[in-house]
Structure 1
Amino acid sequence: MTTFTQLHIAVVVTFDLDLRKNFDASVRARYGPPIIQIPNLHPGVANITFRIGTSHAMTDIGVGTALDFTLGLDGETPVVGLVGGVYSGIAMPVASIAATQKVPQIAFGATSPALSNKEHFPYFLRTVPPDSIQGRAFWNWVVVFQVPMVVCLYGIEPYGS
């Protein structure tokens, strides 16, 4: 998991704790039953550990974290999956690294349509639609509500482009 906010870190920690309640009796006894019951949980899930890194919302730091995680450059066992980066500008180079290592990556905020290209990013998945769909939805909103004037501002980065 790569992130830049304490909220995202808290979500991952909470997820990890709740998942462990499904198979670890000592965690369940201390914190109560799982919020999300998962029936027929694969026994291998008990061996999953989560590592949290950072991107500080900067591409070079996110790429460095991904290299540490996927290659084990930080002295830890290389990861078998990545969550993040949040921004497309970070997720894209991380997806390239993940592809070379054949590590699946899922991003919950990366919306660049370029990430939908499975030839370039075969191990990349997302939980939000690409910007191309977002743009059409926004245009439909303008038409349906007969918005008399629209101003478009963008940055020269993957999201703005």
Structure 2
Amino acid sequence: MLTWHDVTRFLETGNLKPDRVVEKTDAEWRLHLTDEQYRVARQKGTERPFSSEMCSLFEPGLYACVCCDTLLFDARHKFDSGTGWPSFTQPVKENAIAYHGDNAYGMLRVETTCNTCGAHLGHVFPDGPKPSGLRYCMNAVALVKVRDADAGLGSEGEGR
């Protein structure tokens, strides 16, 4: 289980190696994504809080990156943070997420990206529930919900 100590260690020493890498041109991403998905995932935007039904969706399933289909989160680790964005306590694998320092807007935060394709997902904070204490605060438009690991993704996801 990842903790805030692990997240800060990744910031200092570097992220874990991803299982695979997906690279596309800007034009290819634009063709694949909606305008809002592109703005958030490829340009590091943020969706409006409480703009997605995903915040209140708590049925079993897995969440994958909207850009490359890499599995990122399991609904068993999802919780209602009250922030207006879907929140999780853990990624499905330690190397699914990459961590980057973000000092935009005059505050120090930890940005989370898909470790496979670099899509901006949101941020992680050390104020989540026990036992991990982590709150992965994600943009819903950067995620796609799938029923299970066999829903057309395979065990690691298939790049689009």
TM-score range, shorter-chain basis?
under 0.3
Kindly indicate which of the two structures has a greater share of residues assigned to helix.
1
**Structure showing greater Rg:** 1
Q: TM-score, normalised to structure 2's length? A: 0.22
Q: TM-score, normalised to structure 1's length? A: 0.22
Kindly indicate which of the two structures has a greater share of residues assigned to strand.
2
Q: Which has the higher contact order (CA 8 A, sep 6+)?
A: 2
